Amino acid sequence: MSVFSGGVTLDPIADELLKTVRQELGYKEKSGQFTKFGQWYADRVQDTQYRDAPWCDMFLAWAANKSGLSDYVGEFAWTPSHAAWFIQQNAWSRQPEPGALVFFDWRGGKSYKGIDHVGVVERVEGKKIHTIEANVDRVWLKRKTRETDKVVGYGLPRMVKENVERLEEIRSTERPIVAPPRTGTEHGSPLDVLGTPPALLAAMVLMTIVLSLRVTGRRRGTHRRLAWLPWRGERTSPPAGPRVPSPRNPFADAEQEQPKPRAAAKARVPAGAGPASPKPHPTPKRRKPYDPS
């Protein structure tokens, strides 16, 4: 950690990143827009189109990789994606500080989607920031002094590290919940069998039988009450009494007709025979008087 002019103490990430980028001051783009930073990035992502692409962000990716800070600075070639990454990492700020990545929109917009350029803040003096930027003045890597009216925001590598360490600390305290082992002395309830597949199947079969009996008892769109079911016990006849008139025939007699008694069955007489004569009553025998001699 070093102390910068103005008494500002740099965090280790900012200190290491600034040391690396200062070593490249004065680098100039080659013919055909070729740079060693674009070549390095093209080899890293296996895409040759980056060899001659705008290289302001690829330079910072190269410096972060060389300093061992890629996890906190990020490696990008497109500046809006780089800014969105800092926002996602909860490391986005509106206040400048040394070591922060500064993102510009030359049209003065304040959305990360309109960002055009990026550099790294070297120091802050009042409302001005002193930066180190690549691909400025067409071909140079050099120091610049900027006003903040074109600044969209700042990405803070130190905040990325702090958030990562905080998350790792939280994860280290997590412990999986393990259920205690069941002992062999535990006995289940007899009612536990009700939730088994065979019990559910039996219940479905019984319900199907009941519904089929109700369907067979339908008549003209109404249900007739079943006179007997196995679980109702013996069959019982409906109680005698006045019959309620049917709603379909309100003029029906409310009194139930009593069944007429049957006539006594007549004895069958053979064909051709006359009427049978009544049998004579037998004459009782007279007893002799008692003779004691």
How does the average pLDDT of the chain come out, rounded?
A: 80
Is residue 5 over pLDDT 50? no
**In this structure, is residue 28 part of a structural domain?**
yes
How many domains are contained in the chain? Answer: 1
Contacts of 166 (CB under 8 A, 6+ apart): none
Q: What is the pLDDT of residues 89-103, one digit of tens each?
A: 999 999 999 999 999
Is residue 1 over pLDDT 60? no
The confidence score (pLDDT) of residue 170 equals 82
* Cα–Cα distance for residue pair 39/82, rounded to 1 Å: 19
Q: What is the pLDDT of residues 170-185, one digit of tens each?
A: 877 766 666 666 665 5
Full domain range(s) for residue 152: 12-167
The confidence score (pLDDT) of residue 168 equals 84
Is residue 223 over pLDDT 90? no
**In this structure, is residue 261 part of a structural domain?**
no
Is residue 186 over pLDDT 70? no
Q: Is residue 31 packed enough to be buried (19+ CB in 10 Å), middle (13-18) or exposed (0-12)?
A: exposed
Mean pLDDT of 237-255: 55
CB 155 within 8 A of CB 103: yes
**In this structure, is residue 46 part of a structural domain?**
yes
The confidence score (pLDDT) of residue 214 equals 72
**In this structure, is residue 85 part of a structural domain?**
yes
Is residue 112 over pLDDT 70? yes
**In this structure, is residue 163 part of a structural domain?**
yes
Give phi and psi for 52, each to the nearest 5: -120, 30
The confidence score (pLDDT) of residue 263 equals 55
DSSP secondary structure, 57-117, as one string: HHHHHHHHHHHT-HHHH---SSHHHHHHHHHHTT-EESS--TT-EEEE-TT---SGGG--E
**In this structure, is residue 89 part of a structural domain?**
yes
**In this structure, is residue 34 part of a structural domain?**
yes
**In this structure, is residue 112 part of a structural domain?**
yes
Top-confidence residue, 45 or 293:
45
Top-confidence residue, 92 or 271:
92
